[in-house]
Chain A
């Protein structure tokens, strides 16, 4: 056992040497955990945030002016006034997500009790914003109309006053969500490729074969790859979360970062094992590259970090339960946003361990088959 630990440690140290020699790779890693996370968090938002709006104002009344002015940041960008003749062309180009069409005589009709209509043109191809954005616009129009009718007095429009409070993230700021999900996705891609390609490289260069003639077990080689590369990714993720997400982006992390990192370590065990397994299934580096694409793309688009997991069809949810990323995303959301503790997240942690063990098992089995095939 001591030998096992020692050899695993030594071989792991060697991994660091390999990585540090590949300057481009190091630069890429730094890039994805700093700049990429930052730009993703600031640009990529699934909430209605800075949606582009235009207004066709044919009424030019106090009411239409109020409605126009009420479309404000952060939800909307300051609306641009356009002409009706441009409507179709602008929508076609995707220049605006919403275009409000305020008809002539809006105010007069309202005052006469004729219930005028404002048409809202919604670019429904931007499904993430279209629904919620329309609801906001409706709310704004209703509010402004009510306040217009009361001539500025306290509004008593609704018989009940709904008080909606967002727990854990009071302003529904997407930054902390997007940023930490960005870190998670980077962890996934990096872990699979870094480890998988490292194994593939050793296969192609014959170094694994050489190690197996020495007093080294296959399990030691696998364990060394997992711990060393996992460690690099863990460090990068910790840095990204502490420095980039918390300081540079100023996002609030509700839960325990330590628990999150512990869970990340478990997740890394599972995904690095997956990477090794893929490397033992493929026969060459180009094959590995192609094999890894569907794996990491599915893992990062369908595990709930992009779109709500619950919105997926049932059978796909079942399939994705086999992906460690699904459990990790659920775990991370619980810990980072809702401050959940171990009592809540242990089933996901345990599942990740189980999946990791299964992947390692397959990888070790394939190792033997692969060596026999090579000659």
Chain B
């Protein structure tokens, strides 16, 4: 255990900027070991940057960051410290793997920290029990509600007994009950492990109040630092939220909204929203169970409920996005109909996750939204300006949303939803992650819209102080509405002294079993099993080969699980190559027969007919109806009907007999060069045969036909000259690069897009381990594919390797290794999945099909194509494949090729490794 005097975290003069915008300006902070610190502040003031620097996932720009007795600028210290730090990034379960189950997710993290099997299992069971996730251990993470995802994220962070716990807004979007359980859990863990330091960023002021120390940030600097009572005393406020608002720069504060505002006066008109027995079933699962309510025009109707209780589904049914299984809904007096465009013009909708365009700027998004709602010209410009001002987005108007913090993104969504001045606003947790001051201003807007413009507002929220401002609230749980009424009524009915208590009491009453386990009744001490930890921890920093192999295996294991979950993808990966090999085997053929031709016989003599018989009797040619004039020759060749036309001149027979060697014209369609060349060769052959026959008949034994040089072609490796023998080895070369490369191409970039790459940043694993681990399952798929192609070629196409099967198999293994490495390389370079797919498709398919000897012998290539062929693994594998299949060579012949292939594989991996940084900027 560390000495209490040494701070766990100490920052001096830390400065961080993203381009021109400064996130942290010369910040100093020291956090004693074993203390609990809450960081509060508006969106975009640098909280996340600060936490990222402390956790070591962000590169330090200026200043020094010392964490756990070491400098975080040094890579070796980061590797050493990583197993002792747990970092949970912002966003609902962004770092989880959605197709893996709850258990598998935690298990992955535990393996990453090299925990022994038995210990790991015990510990996971423990964590699941404490967080109440045990009943859901087998459920895929992607199907969990937001709160459960956050709890799972915490389990993943806690699985390796960290000394420093860094949580970035861990309870954003989590319902009050889950939130309470979450903090109880953290408190208990800390009580048992007093040396653990906890640093949390949060938007919930009430939560921050429970911490030893609160640091308020604004504009990249610390504006207040102290305990809850310090802050209250300093500002003279009676709640932390108020104190916080007071601390801010005056221009940020915005209007103070008192919970009391003019109560709604019913106008006697029809209700704006009506739901009657709305029900939604997904298979066996009932997401929404006979929900009914009526919302008056101008009413603010709050929708509360635990995570995953069906709020979002209900809202989607009201918008028409989801057709209800049963029951019906009315909006503004009309039944909800997805095709009704005019009603949609009157609705504003904010979805739970960000659903505007990352690729457009803030202003661009608003303008697009306005235009799609039919606003244009000057009015649009005015409204966009107004929205930017109202929602305080003017400063970031030109920024794209992906560079903005969560809270600002939410504000942008709100701004868009209000832009076209809708009559009904359907808002699905619009304020999750938004800072208190901005929430305040947002609510004053809502109140204004509701009371002045009589806009009906249907809003779901997890903030109780927001729920208190609603005219009426509805409590929902497990698909059913538990209670509807004004906040005051509900509170009175439960005899609770706050709405939150009332809410929790309703929930606990309705479902005492499945939720209660997480709270205080888990009596066993949590840290009981933590003793073996020191042994495992002692092993980790050494980074021995064994540990490294274990981590590679951990990544491979996880990737394999993900692949196994996606059966469709696996099927595509294995069946696609077989399908294509069959298509190539039967389809690609250079065996040209039946060339269509027609004759313009202007002689019509016996001699001309004899000459022409030479063509009509050949299996290479198929005669079409005769030609009448030269115009027809041109027309029919142009339309592609004929490959060539024969023009026999008048007087052919006479000239021939007189030995005047008449000319015969052949018009060949030269557009497509391959058939044209072939036709030319066949025509010459036919004429020669004719000449030989003519010579024999006319009894001329003199001349070249009597004594000529005979030519004896020896078609080697493919005596019957059948395309399938030449195509199949090439198909194998082509398919074994395209598919494996495409499988890995999305690997890295997808994790970047989805956010789970953060796990790699924060873990003790190196990028090399990560890449290798990711690659292994796909190498296995590639090998499986190779075996199936080999069997298919032999059994169905009748193409059997004549040479060394061992050489072919070894080459295939190395080739697949190189192909998957190439996919990873593309993935590391591109920034979007679209570019990854296109890049891989173009680079592998084009190079393999064109420059690697697939259809044209590589030896006849020249210029850049030759170089491209040599610089890609396909050409080298093609030599082996062709050599073994067609030429029957033995293993010795291919040692060089296999070595080159191995070189490619290692080079691709190395470049990929170098182009991924282990830290964000």
B846 / chain A contacts, CB cutoff of 8 Å: 32, 36, 40
Closest A residue by C-beta to B413: A210
Most chain A beta-carbon contacts within 10 A, residue among B639, B840, B856, B861? B856
- Contact call A115/B674, Cβ cutoff below 8 A: no
Q: Secondary structure at chain A's binding surface: helix, strand, loop or mixed?
A: helix
Cβ distance A133 to chain B, nearest Cβ, rounded Å: 9
Closest A residue by C-beta to B705: A157
B829 / chain A contacts, CB cutoff of 8 Å: 24
Contact pattern, B 472-490, Cβ under 8 Å of A = 1, otherwise 0? 0000000000000000000
Which residues of B (662-689) have their CB < 8 Å from a CB of A? 662-678, 680-685, 687-688
- Contact call B684/A135, Cβ cutoff below 8 A: yes
- Residue A256 CB within 8 A of the other chain: no
Contact pattern, A 324-356, Cβ under 8 Å of B = 1, otherwise 0? 000000100110111110001000000000000
Instruction: Specify which of B671, B833, B838 is in contact with A338 (CB 8 Å cutoff).
Output: B671
- Contact call B668/A167, Cβ cutoff below 8 A: yes
Cβ distance A275 to chain B, nearest Cβ, rounded Å: 11
- Residue A310 CB within 8 A of the other chain: yes
Binds B, one of A94-102, A236-244, A264-272, A357-365: A94-102
- Residue A246 CB within 8 A of the other chain: no
Q: How far is A45 from B675 in the complex, measured between Cα atoms in Å?
A: 13
- Residue B341 CB within 8 A of the other chain: yes
Contact pattern, A 1-31, Cβ under 8 Å of B = 1, otherwise 0? 0010011001100100110011111001001
- Contact call B590/A92, Cβ cutoff below 8 A: no
A164 / chain B contacts, CB cutoff of 8 Å: 666, 668, 680, 683-684
- Contact call A168/B669, Cβ cutoff below 8 A: yes
Which residues of B (584-600) have their CB < 8 Å from a CB of A? 584, 586-594
Instruction: Specify which of B357, B566, B589, B656 is in contact with A159 (CB 8 Å cutoff).
Output: B656
Q: How many A-B residue pairs have CB under 8 A?
A: 501
- Contact call A209/B704, Cβ cutoff below 8 A: no
Q: A6-B371, A42-B865, A340-B638 are in contact. Are A21 and B359 (CB under 8 A)?
A: yes
Most chain B beta-carbon contacts within 10 A, residue among A22, A31, A131? A131
Binds A, one of B189-197, B216-224, B883-891: B883-891
Q: How far is A49 from B865 in the complex, measured between Cα atoms in Å?
A: 14
- Residue B695 CB within 8 A of the other chain: yes
- Contact call A94/B858, Cβ cutoff below 8 A: yes
A165 / chain B contacts, CB cutoff of 8 Å: 665-668
- Residue A232 CB within 8 A of the other chain: no
A113 / chain B contacts, CB cutoff of 8 Å: 706-707
Most chain B beta-carbon contacts within 10 A, residue among A45, A207, A287, A290? A290
Q: A39-B864, A45-B860, A285-B750 are in contact. Are A135 and B666 (CB under 8 A)?
A: no
Interface residues contributed by chain B, number (CB under 8 Å): 164
Closest B residue by C-beta to A26: B835
Interface size on A, as a range, is: 35 or more
- Residue B902 CB within 8 A of the other chain: no
- Residue A72 CB within 8 A of the other chain: no
- Contact call B589/A307, Cβ cutoff below 8 A: yes
Q: How far is A310 from B834 in the complex, measured between Cα atoms in Å?
A: 35
Cβ distance A122 to chain B, nearest Cβ, rounded Å: 5
Closest B residue by C-beta to A295: B576
- Residue B17 CB within 8 A of the other chain: no
- Residue B845 CB within 8 A of the other chain: yes
- Contact call A337/B671, Cβ cutoff below 8 A: yes
A95 / chain B contacts, CB cutoff of 8 Å: 859
- Residue A313 CB within 8 A of the other chain: yes
- Contact call B861/A43, Cβ cutoff below 8 A: yes
Cβ distance B464 to chain A, nearest Cβ, rounded Å: 27
- Contact call A24/B835, Cβ cutoff below 8 A: yes
Q: How far is A163 from B675 in the complex, measured between Cα atoms in Å?
A: 18
Which residues of B (713-758) have their CB < 8 Å from a CB of A? 713-719, 721, 723, 725-727, 729, 734, 738-739, 742-743, 745-746, 750
29 residue pairs A–B, Cβ–Cβ below 8 Å: A6-B371, A10-B372, A14-B360, A24-B829, A24-B831, A24-B832, A42-B863, A43-B862, A46-B855, A51-B860, A77-B860, A91-B717, A96-B859, A110-B708, A113-B707, A125-B729, A142-B708, A193-B838, A201-B833, A205-B354, A214-B369, A286-B569, A290-B576, A297-B845, A307-B588, A307-B855, A337-B670, A372-B323, A375-B282
List 6 A-B pairs, minimum CB-CB distance, nearest first. Answer: A43-B865, A337-B671, A166-B670, A135-B681, A169-B670, A124-B718
Given contacts A138-B711, A156-B661, 19 further A-B contacts (CB under 8 A): A17-B359, A39-B865, A94-B882, A94-B883, A110-B707, A114-B707, A120-B713, A122-B713, A126-B860, A131-B590, A135-B684, A145-B708, A160-B690, A164-B683, A167-B670, A206-B355, A213-B320, A215-B373, A372-B323
